[in-house]
Structure 1
Amino acid sequence: MKTQKSRKKKISATIVSFLTLMSVSSVTRPVTYAQFDWLFSDESLISEENQLTDEDLQALKEVYDSIQINYIEDVSKADLLTGALKGMVDAIGDPYSEYLNAEESTSFEEDFQDSFEGIGVQFMMENGRVTVISPIDGTPAGEAGILPNDIILEADGVELTDMNTNEVVNLIRGPKDSEVVLLIQRNNSTFEVTLVRATIPNITVTGEIDETESTVGHIKISQFADNTYNELVETISELRKEGAKSLIIDLRMNPGGLLDSALDIGNMFLEDGDMIMQISERNADEASKFTANERAFGSFKITEPYVLLIDEGSASASEIVAAAVQENTDAKLIGQTSFGKGTVQTILNPSDLGELKLTSAKWLTPSDNWIHDVGIEPDITVENLPVASSLLMNSNETLSLGVSNEFVESLALMLNALGYEVKSENFFDEEMEAAVKEFQAANDLEVDGQVTGETAHALNRLVREYLAENDPQYQEAVKLLVGATND
């Protein structure tokens, strides 16, 4: 798992990731979570040598008492108990199991609900700064005029720089009708805006008709939440009314979500009796099989020709659907090998302190394949553009003549993609300096040949727009569908 985890961290820092990253969910933490009858709670299943004894419990109590009596400051009982529970789960060494304190548990549950209470803004962490991707139309953020690429510096006077996503979400979200004061940076100016929080719909599915092929519908599923099935039904129905005769189902950079949502959606693509997936857990004699059944998972079916798009950011529930399609139908998977997360997490032991998210089972494809750490290979491999793997330019650092590092390598990819040709791959030479000056002049920036500040922001923004317009995986999908329709 170490190799996959390292690769995933790198992906989350690339330009590709912030095309889809939502404030309500992190692409670096793919999860599948549900509660099913196959879970066990019988203590007799614990081996004798691993059962807790009175002496074990006494040792824990002695450490607790020693801290309470001898530590130089007061420590709350809840903090110590939560710390002990977190430490116990951390000892497993499983990146997908964790003990969630009460605050983390609330945020985690909200990620998969139909709505949440907040201001309605999608953001990414760009070089430690909360950078707006876009406000959601009709929400407090949208109505207040917050724009893409605005930087949220503070929330109610608390600096947000270098916080993690959960910390930012906990500060910006809040009860409906409560206020939050944000300090916004836009280009070189800063200003405050007071927003009244509202109930925000958690939209996980979007769709549109292709700009050049009016019979091709493009559907993007960002995660698998409580409302995803209904959103997908509504989106497909609307695209059919608009003339869609074939569909591109885009699961790229989808980190997963709820297992029951994956089953409901997987059922859309299959005939009754086709196997969607299997679950193999520790104490069961055989795997539990989940087969397509409209009475169990819904009667809505996708009848049009379709293809699925996957990439290295497609994980967990996304892979369940992709494997079900690949092993049961003739539809094609296009893109790159998926992430490779073949485990199931379950929420257990809820209490006032929090709850346990524990890896409780493996999931297998219909053909008994365990894709963990391996991923699903597409039927048609289409690599993304080289610039898609480039790192974001850091506006707080300076790249200039003579510098050689991974950011210079990314700068070279960016400049070449935008039409400013450079030969050097990882050394900031005079040719690269001239290209930067040309870029700055063309975009009304200070022409000094250095990449920092507004030049860094402009490069990030323009490359993001370039990638939105130049998508070889999507273009291959359109080509395949149009060819099949014409045939």
Structure 2
Amino acid sequence: MTDKRLKRPLIWLMVSVVTLITLCLPLQTAEGFNWFTGQEIEEPLTEKDLQKLIEVYNTIQTDYIEEVDKKQLLEGALKGMVQALEDPYSEYLNTDESDSLNETVEGEFTGIGVQFMMENGQVKVVTPIEGTPAAEVGIQPNDVILEADGTELSGMDTNEVVRIIRGEEGTTIKLKVQRGSSVIDLEITRARIPIITVTGEVAEADPSAGVVKITQFNGTTYDELLEVIDDLRQQNVTSFVFDLRNNPGGLLDQALRICNLFLEDGQMIMHIEEGTGPVYDYPASDKEYGESQVTEPYVVLVNKGSASASEIFAAAIQENTDALVLGNQTFGKGTVQTITNASELGELKLTSARWLTPNKHWIHGEGVAVDEEIEVHPIYQSLVMQADEILNFGMRNEFVASLRAVLNQLDYDVELGDLYDESVVEAVKAFQTDHQLDPTGEVTGETAEKINQLAREYIQTHDEQLDAAIERLLELTEQDQAA
């Protein structure tokens, strides 16, 4: 394998740097990958080119109707240059965005330790992270964070909320929180919060099977995975489901080390191709990546939210072993990005290479096709009902489709579809009656909020796709034992 000299120990293959939790855990987007290519510039900027930029800048500074910030203009010019590439994975990161990315890479951040979702423009708590300041002061699931240090959060996007709530370690933040009909004031001291990327549990269906959930690949994921596997082995687990659904990717070095757990020395993990340049091979190597091995039977579970480094893992398993990859076709992110310090303003994240599967297949835009499809009910992709909008008879759209999916799964007499017909009106009236709401047959306000709540609770307590994967694992294990 050709040696590549790293500028810093980061090879990042991911599709967001901010975790956003909704009803069905959406995709997240971004990537980064650092190496030095040393290629010469074919068309360098000339003094005449630079003079054009200076002239535009000077004209804005002297003639624009309002006062303009120099840093803002420079940052805008840099972002605009990268946006001209029309590449969704290349971008100029300002210092705040760069810091957020680095926190993700390091595996921890400074904040209060709460997972939240944006629902109808409000910051709704999904859960406080155990052992964090948020949990210690008593923040609870379904709390709505109204204000942070006097700033109303309603209507903000996720990035704005994160920027306000996060801060320096040891500093305090005052929150106004709505819990039911009550509003309470809380003061919380920010702390370093570890990002846990691997969890494990013994399967309820059979104590010999273990479920290992890998949420992303950051700087601690490999060590976390070894610890979780060892813990499950001590609980007499003898087979595994490795769940990478909605895993957007992360650090390539972690993905390589984790792939190595399942492969023999010399088996190809992946290749990296620089444009029309050479192709670099990345084979499994205990000397390079560690001697630990997974020898138990296992299956891999993925879905359309599994991207980049997750797809490297899925493809390496699929093209090198007999283990099954189950679920749904993956996202299809086959490029890598270099991240370099461009100036004191931030960092440049630029697409610089493609990664290929062991068989040199480029999955970009296609994804990794699973060995066996496990379909899921549409409730798992349902949209959040908008409390300030009205859904009623005659409407046909994706929100109506989500409404029908939720009502169908909650055992109301309505089939899947996207038309708000008479059957939906009657089902909504029945739902409203069951939950002491005015039976109008329309979805808005309290009805929308109740539907969202029950859909979220159902998704959190039912995982049909995982149940099917465990069942398939047990079937395969029994077949191996019989043979």
Residue 456 of structure 1 corresponds to: 448
Q: Which moved more, 1:159-168 or 1:222-231?
A: 159-168
Instruction: Select which of 70, 76, 79 maps to 2:69.
Output: 76
Higher deviation after alignment, 377-386 or 434-443: 434-443
The one-letter code of the counterpart of 1:160 is: L
SS of the equivalent of 2:476 reads: helix
| 8 Å contact from structure 1 (residues 14, 389) kept in 2 | no
Q: Which amino acid aligns with 2:220?
A: N
**Would you say 1:478 and 2:470 are equivalent positions?**
yes
Q: Secondary structure at the match of 1:269?
A: coil
Aligned partner of 2:150 among 152, 157, 163: 157
Task: Report whether the alignment pairs 1:88 with 2:96.
Answer: no
- Please give the alpha-carbon distance, in whole angstroms, between the structure 1 residues aligned to 2:210 and 2:225: 12
2:239 maps to which of 246, 252, 255: 246
**Superposition RMSD in Å:** 2.0
1:347 touches 1:355 (CA, 8 Å); kept in 2?
yes
Aligned residues: 461
- CA shift for structure 1 position 448: 4.0
Deviation for aligned residue 1:321: 0.5
Does structure 1 conserve the Cα–Cα contact (< 8 Å) formed by 2:22 and 2:117? no
Note the C-alpha offset of 1:445: 4.1
**TM-score under structure 2 length normalisation:** 0.90
How many angstroms apart in 2 are the aligned matches of 1:423 and 1:212? 30
Confirm or deny that 1:28 pairs with 2:21: no
Task: Please say if residues 422 and 435 of structure 1, whose CA atoms lie closer than 8 Å, have aligned partners that are also in contact.
Answer: yes
Hey, what's the Cα distance between the residues in 1 that align with 2:453 and 2:124? 11
Q: CA deviation at 1:229?
A: 0.8
Tell me the residue number matched to 2:325: 333
8 Å contact kept, 1:257–1:317:
yes
The equivalent of 2:214 in structure 1 is 221
Task: From the superposition, tell whether residues 424 and 361 of structure 1 become closer, same or farther in structure 2 (CA, over 3 Å).
Answer: closer
CA distance in 1, matches of 2:70, 2:454: 51
Shift of 1:236: 0.8
Deviation of 1:144 after TM superposition, in Å, equals: 1.8
Question: Do the aligned partners of 1:13 and 1:392 also contact (CA within 8 Å) in 2?
Answer: no
Deviations 1:383-410 (A, max 9, x none): 1112222211112223234544321221
Q: In the alignment, which of 284, 297, 300 is matched to residue 289 of structure 2?
A: 297
User: How far apart are residue 193 of structure 1 and its match?
Assistant: 1.7
CA distance in 1, matches of 2:117, 2:286: 38
1:127 corresponds to which residue?
A: 120
Of 24, 38, 50, 1:16 maps to 24
2:106 aligned counterpart, secondary structure: coil
Matches of 2:420 and 2:183, distance apart in 1: 32
CA shift for structure 1 position 423:
4.4
Name the CA distance, whole Å, in 2 between partners of 1:184 and 1:338.
38
- Correspondence for 1:41 among 28, 32, 38: 38
Please state whether the residue corresponding to 1:181 is helix, strand or coil.
Answer: strand
Checking the alignment, whether the CA contact within 8 Å between 1:30 and 1:257 is kept in structure 2 is no
1: distance between equivalents of 2:322 and 2:461? Answer: 29
SS of residue in 2 equivalent to 1:105:
helix
- Structure 1 residue 316, shift from structure 2 partner: 0.5
Q: Structure 2 CA distance, aligned partners of 1:281 and 1:385?
A: 40
| 1:111 aligned residue | 104
Given the superposition, is the C-alpha separation of residues 404 and 282 from structure 1 closer, same or farther in structure 2, using an over 3 Å criterion? Answer: closer
Post-superposition offset of 1:30: 4.5
C-alpha separation between the residues in 1 aligned to 2:342 and 2:134? 34
Tell me how far apart the structure 2 counterparts of residues 91 and 245 of structure 1 sit (CA, whole Å). 52
SS of 1:363's partner is strand
Change (3 A) 1:398 1:362: same
Question: Quick one: which amino acid aligns to residue 148 of structure 1?
Answer: P
Q: Which runs of 5+ in 1 are unaligned?
A: 1-7, 19-26
Question: How much has 1:434 moved relative to structure 2?
Answer: 2.9
- SS class of match (1:304): coil
Assess if the C-alpha contact under 8 Å between 2:22 and 2:118 holds in 1: no
Bigger mean CA deviation after superposition, 223-232 or 477-486: 477-486
Aligned-pair distance for 1:469? 4.2
Counterpart mapping for 1:416-435 below 5 A: 416-423=408-415, 425-435=417-427
Answer whether contact 2:378 2:402 (CA < 8 A) is retained.
no
Q: Does 1:400 align with 2:392?
A: yes
Equivalent in the alignment of 1:5: none
8 Å contact from structure 1 (residues 155, 171) kept in 2: yes
Q: Deviations over 1:425-445 (max 9, x none)?
A: 334344323322322333344
| Counterpart in the other structure of 1:349 | 341
1:391 aligns to what?
383
The one-letter code sitting in structure 1 at the alignment partner of 2:37 is: F
| Alpha-carbon shift at residue 352 of structure 1 (Å) | 1.3
Task: Report the counterpart of residue 363 of structure 2 in structure 1.
Answer: 371
Percent identity reads: 51
Inter-partner Cα distance in structure 2 for 1:233 and 1:461: 36
Q: What per-residue deviation string (whole Å, max 9, x for no partner) do you get for residues 143-201 of structure 1?
A: 22212222222221222233232221111111111111222233344332221111111
Gaps of 5+ in 2: 1-15
* 2:198 maps to 1:190: no
Q: CA deviation at 1:109?
A: 1.1
Q: Which moved more, 1:432-441 or 1:193-202?
A: 432-441
Q: What is the distance in 1 between the residues matched to 2:437 and 2:171?
A: 40
Letter in 1 for 2:25: S
Between 140-149 and 471-480, report the one with greater CA deviation: 471-480
The TM-score, its normalising length taken from structure 1, stands at 0.90
Retained in 2: the 8 A contact 1:252–1:314? yes
Aligned residue in 2 for 1:282:
275
